[in-house]
Amino acid sequence: MNDLYFIGMVYEGSIIILTAIFLGLVLFNYVKNRNMLMLLLFLLIFNYFMAIFFSWLSKVLILYSNIDYLYDETVPDPLNPLSWILLRLTDFRISFLFLTIASIFSYVFKVKIFEKSFNKSKKNFIFGLGIFTAFYSLVIYHKEILILDVIAFFFVFLLMGIVYIPFMKSSIKSYKNSTINNYRKAFFSLAVMSLSFVLILLCFLIDRIYIFMGDFGFTLWYFLGWIFVIIGIIGAYFGYLHLNRKEI
């Protein structure tokens, strides 16, 4: 079992490095150009970076902290402030918080690209669902009740689907309607980004269902999920660059 966590730690470490490279590129471009879309892109990628970092940190804690209730399911939660934080960290709940925030910034990113102004009812619904999802992720938790984790995965998956599926549809529509090469490349990249970000949680949800059914986890779906993170970030980055590149 420790071998699986070690593999996960190394694998997520490589994903962190790749994400950090793109985060640095976005930050460099924001400092250079300073516009709202680049700031939103930075905040979007930053929150994905934090989600990956805390997932990676959970592997480190399980492998090297020697805190028994983190790696031994038979040891009960001591119910103190430290265990409150560490158990939520190791069970992906802190990462869920950052995925939720990333989804909200993605929604704002989409509005700024395609709609220019917010639809009040959509905005209230998405922000409300985001707040509920963040609350559930942090508060509705019990170490020994795995179904609560499956439900948490589902709520994050639902939020991401509600944000990214319309984003993908708008990107595909704009790709088909545009005759400008750079814009077509931009909208294609944003469509890839949207699809990839939906597939992240779908893969992790399937992996969590396997765990709920008695598997150790770290299935093929787990590894695919992190690959889609990188594909999504690449799509977001190049989508923005093509939107702001002058046609030659």
Q: Alpha helices, DSSP H only, in the chain?
A: 2-33, 36-64, 68-71, 81-90, 93-110, 120-139, 146-177, 181-212, 220-243
DSSP assigned state of 77: P
Q: Name residue 135's amino acid.
A: F
Q: 182 exposed, middle or buried (CB, 10 Å; 0-12, 13-18, 19+)?
A: middle
- What CATH number has the domain spanning 2-243? 1.20.1070
Domain ranges of the chain: 2-243
Q: CA-to-CA distance for 247 and 149, rounded, in angstroms?
A: 48
Q: CA-to-CA distance for 226 and 242, rounded, in angstroms?
A: 25
Q: CA-to-CA distance for 44 and 165, rounded, in angstroms?
A: 17
Tens-of-pLDDT digits for all 248 residues of the chain?
Answer: 678 889 999 999 999 999 999 999 999 988 988 889 899 999 999 999 999 999 999 999 999 998 999 988 889 899 999 999 999 999 999 999 999 999 999 999 999 999 878 999 999 999 999 999 999 999 999 988 888 988 998 999 999 999 999 999 999 999 999 888 988 999 999 999 999 999 998 898 888 788 778 777 788 999 999 999 999 999 999 998 888 764 43
Q: CA-to-CA distance for 152 and 157, rounded, in angstroms?
A: 9
The size of the chain, in residues, is: 248
